[in-house]
Each structure stands twice: as structure tokens, then as C-alpha cells.
Amino acid sequence: MQLHPNIAKARLKQHLRAGVLLAYGQQYPGSEVLFKTRFGNIRVKLYDDTPIHKANFLLLTRRGVFNETVFNRVVKGFAVQGGQTSESRTIRLQRYRLPPEVRPQHFHFKGALGMARYSDDENPQRLSSNTDFYFTLGHTFTAAAAKASASRPLTPTQFQTYATTGGVPALDGAYTVFGEVVEGLDVVEKIGQIPVSSGDKWPLQDVGMQVTVVK
């Protein structure tokens, strides 16, 4: 099947961008980032087996991109989302998307770090945003409820984690999880409780962040 020239060009750009990010990750490695917020600090480990998402996050962190952003969407008992850039910053970044790196061993337990994306209707390839990330909150599930909610088979460990720690199994397989909170989950939970607007779930008071690579 022959691709429309615009689609072929877009895919080529995505392929080239992924190659650039992989090269960056090899040349400038890193494994942990620290979010400083007015509620406290959140330390995050980035996964080695999602190298494109990892390299992208390290690159934008070192460029100070996230320091200009806020947690712009909070859905209680579900997730807190941040990283949305201003229009001028988006233009300077030359907005691009990331190929999915969904791994069966990575799932949406409480404290997982994932990358947001547009819906399947607009984005059938499920390409990730390059800046919009989220921390999973969620709640605990019985094995039967987790199985019913999940969009893919779960391992015994994942069933156990959803039963004890909690999370959002409905997101598994649909979004790339590329890291996890190792310190400061209570800070994520505090952000997840702040008052928000009834419509777009935007916090009524800004929660900014300063993000640095610490390891």
C-alpha cells in the first residue's frame, strides 16, 4: 500500500527524531530526575528499556523546558498531569511526537510515570507527546475488577500490586510508562488532592515545578 506523501514524510520525521534521541541518550546518559514543587520533592527513576522516552525526558529536563510548566490537569483518584508548554515555547521546541514504547512489564501502578497522548481517533499510531507527562494515582482493585478493567493480560505480580498499592489498569497497553516514583509519592498524592475547575480539571492555584537530572 502506498502512503500519502504527507504521511510518509511525517513517519520519516518521527524515525529521524527517534534516532537523534537514542544517540543523545547514549552520549548523555542519566537515570533519575528530581521534581521540586511547593508541596515537596518527587524523585523519579527512568526506565532503560524505554530509551526514546527516557532520552527525550532527560534532554528536555536539561534544557529547562519543564521549569516553565505547571501541573495543568488533576483528576482525583486517577492521575496528575504536567508538562504542557506555552504556545511560544511549543513553537521553539518544534513539537514532535514519540513512537510508543509500551512494555508488558511496565504498568500503571500508583506512582508510575507515563507520557500523555492524543486519542486513538486523532492518533491511531498512539504516538506520545514529547512534553505532557503524568503520574498515576488510581485506587486498589480486586483481582476480578483489575482483570475486567485492564486492556491486556496481567501478571500475578501486577494483580498483587493493583490489590495492595493500587493504580489504573485501564491505561495498561495504551500509554507508554517510562519511569516510577522512588521518593515523594506522598507529594504526588498531595497534588492529586488540590482544588480544580469543574470542567478541564485545571488546578485553581498553579503548582509549578523545577526539574533536574540528579543521577
CATH code of the domain made up of 17-213: 2.40.100.10
- Rounded mean pLDDT of the chain? 87
**pLDDT recorded at residue 15:** 57
pLDDT in tens, 42-59: 999 999 999 999 999 999
Secondary structure of the chain in the HEC alphabet? Answer: CCCCHHHHHHHHHHHHHHHHHHHHHHHCCCCEEEEEECCEEEEEEECCCCHHHHHHHHHHHHCCCHHHCEEEEEECCCEEEECCCCHHHHHHHCCCEECCCCCCCCCCECCEEEECCCCCCCCCCCCEECCCEEEECCECCCHHHHHHHCCCCCCHHHHHHHHHCCECHHHCCCCCEEEEEEECHHHHHHHCCCCECCCCCCECCCCECEEEECC
Residue 161 predicted with pLDDT over 60: yes
pLDDT in tens, 5-35: 333 344 445 656 888 899 999 999 999 999 9
Give the predicted TM-score (pTM) of the model.
0.87
